[in-house]
Amino acid sequence: MEERTIEIRPPGVASKEVPRMMRSQAGGQEPAGIPESNATLGGLFEAIEQDRKFETVVHDSARDDNPVLEIQEFRLWYGEAQALHDVSMICPQGKVTALIGPSGCGKSTLLRCVNRMNDLIDSVRISGDMLLNGQSIYDKGVDVIELRKRIGMVFQKPNPFPMSIFENVVYSLRIDGERDRRVLQEVCEQSLRGAGLWKEVKDRLDSSALALSGGQQQRLCIARAIAAEPDVLLLDEPCSALDPIATGRIEELIEELKGTYSILIVTHNMQQASRASDFTAFMYLGRLVEFGSTEDIFLQPKLKETEDYVTGRFG
C-alpha cells in the first residue's frame, strides 16, 4: 500500500514531502493513532500519502439539486496505479467549476473521464459513476459518440488537426455531414471571434492550422470546441500557452459562455480560478480535498492545506 503511494507521488512533491513525513514520524506519532476523521487537519496530506481514509470537505455553498454533471465515488486505475480515489462532486448547471491542485494530482484524468476519453487507454479501469443531466455516462447502453458530441473539450496541449484553419473549426459539423457553406462560414466566424482569434486569421482561413503559433493553436482548439455548441465544456489549462491579453480574452469568453454552457476548467493560475470560476475543487494526489463556491474556497477555506495552496504557501 505504502509503496503504491510513493509511486503515484510526482517527484516534485516527493522531495518536499519526505522531510515532513519524517518529522511526523520522528515525533513518535503512530500511523494508527491518527483518527479516521479530518480532525487532525495539519496531517491531512500525510494521511493522504499514507492512503488513509478521509472525507472530502464540501461547503454548503456547493450543493445543488439539479447539477449538470454529478460525479459519484469515482475511482480510476492506470494499470495497477490508482490515479483517482473516491472523487465525488458536482458541476452546477450554467456555472464555471474550477479544478485546482498540484501537478499530477489527477485533474486531467478526472476531466478526461467526463467525456470518456480514457476509454482509449487500454490499461484504464474505473469504478463509480458520473451522471450527465441525471443520466449515467458509464452505463452500458450509452452511445459514447453522442455523449462526446454534447461535451466539448480543450486539451492541455494544443492539438490542431492537419488541415486548414477553417476545416479545423468546423470539424464537428463536418463529421455530422453539414455541407451548407454559409452555415459553416457563419459558425467558423462566430467561433473564432469567440476564441479571440478571428482578427488574426480571417485572411488566411485556408492555410494550414499547423502553421499557427502555439497560443493561436490553443485558441483555435477552443474555437473548435465551442463550434459544436456543447452542453458542457471541459477546458484543461486552456491558457497555459497564452499571453495575458489572450488569457483575458479567454476569461471574457468563459464569462460570456457561462449561463448557456456549463464549464469545467483546470487551471494552475489561482487568480484565474478566483476571477473566472463560480465553484472550485481542490485536488491532491487523486483525492478531492475541498469543494465549495470559489468565494468560500479562497476566502474562508475549511482546511489549512487548501488555504496554503490557494495563497501560494503550499509545500
Partner 1 sequence: MSPVVETRSAPSAPAPRQRSRRRLTRRRTSLFAHGEPMVWLTGGALVIALAMIAGLLLLVLGQGGLTFWPKPLDRFVLEGGVALMGEVTSSEVLEDGGSRQLVRTGNYDLTQVHFTWVEDSNVLERSRPEWGLVLERQSWGRFYGEPRAFLIDGETVAEDPAQVWTRFEQFHPGTRERYEQRKALETHEIGRLNARIESARLAEKSAELDSGADSPQWQRAHERFVRVQEQNESEFDAIREEITQLNAENERYGLVLETADGTRTTLSLADVVRAYPANQLGFADKLGVYLSRWWEFLSDDPREANSEGGVFPAIFGTVVMTLLMSIVVVPFGVLAALYLREYAKQGTIVSMVRIAVNNLAGVPSIAFGVFGLGFFCYIIGASMDELLFEARLPNPTYGKGGLLWAALTLALLTLPVVIVATEEALSAVPNSMREGSYACGATKWQTIRRIVLPRAAPGIMTGMILAIARGAGEVAPLMLVGAVKLAPELPLDGNAPFLHPERSFMHLGFHIFDLGFQSQNSEAAKPMVYTTTLLLIGIVVSLNVLAVLVRGRLRRRFMTAHI
Q: Which residues bind partner 1 (CB under 8 A)?
A: 2, 6, 18, 21-22, 25, 115, 117, 120, 122, 145-146, 148-149, 151-153, 155, 157-163, 171-172, 174-176, 208, 210-214, 217, 221, 224-225, 228
Q: Which is nearer to partner 1, 172 or 280 (CB)?
A: 172
The only residue of 77, 78, 161, 314 in contact with ligand ATP, by rule CB under 6 A = 78
- Residue 103 binding target from ligand ATP, Mg ion, partner 1, none, CB below 5 to 8 Å by type: ligand ATP
- Residue 228 binding target from ligand ATP, partner 1, Mg ion, none, CB below 5 to 8 Å by type: partner 1
At 293, is the secondary structure helix, strand, or coil?
strand
Cα(191)–Cα(196) distance, integer angstroms: 9
| 118 binds Mg ion per the rule CB under 5 A | no
Which long-range contacts does 26-30 make (Cβ < 8 Å, 24+ apart)?
A: none
CB burial of residue 308 (10 Å; 0-12, 13-18, 19+): middle
| 15 binds ligand ATP per the rule CB under 6 A | no
Q: Which is nearer to partner 1, 154 or 297 (CB)?
A: 154
- Residue 67 binding target from Mg ion, partner 1, ligand ATP, none, CB below 5 to 8 Å by type: none
Positions in 79-108 near ligand ATP (CB under 6 A): 83, 103-108
Instruction: Give the amino acid at 279.
Output: F
Question: Which of 31, 236, 35, 72 is closest to 152 using CA atoms?
Answer: 236
| 109 binds Mg ion per the rule CB under 5 A | no
Please state the closest distance from residue 110 (CB atom) to ligand ATP, in A.
7
Question: Which of 312, 147, 157, 282 is closest to 228 using CA atoms?
Answer: 147
Site string for Mg ion, 134-173 (x = CB under 5 A): ----------------------x-----------------
Contact 189, 178 (CB under 8 A): no
Cα(200)–Cα(243) distance, integer angstroms: 15
- Residue 276 binding target from ligand ATP, partner 1, Mg ion, none, CB below 5 to 8 Å by type: none
Question: Which of 271, 206, 12, 272 is closest to 263 using CA atoms?
Answer: 272
Positions in 146-185 near ligand ATP (CB under 6 A): 156
- Residue 224 binding target from Mg ion, ligand ATP, partner 1, none, CB below 5 to 8 Å by type: partner 1
3-state SS string for 79-98: CCEEEEEEEEEEECCCCEEE
The only residue of 38, 82, 97, 108 in contact with Mg ion, by rule CB under 5 A = 108
What's CA 304's distance to the chain center, in Å?
23
Which grid coordinates are listed for 190?
Answer: 462566430
Contact 235, 263 (CB under 8 A): yes
Please state the closest distance from residue 40 (CB atom) to ligand ATP, in A.
25
**CB-based closest residue to ligand ATP:** 108
Cα(53)–Cα(32) distance, integer angstroms: 11
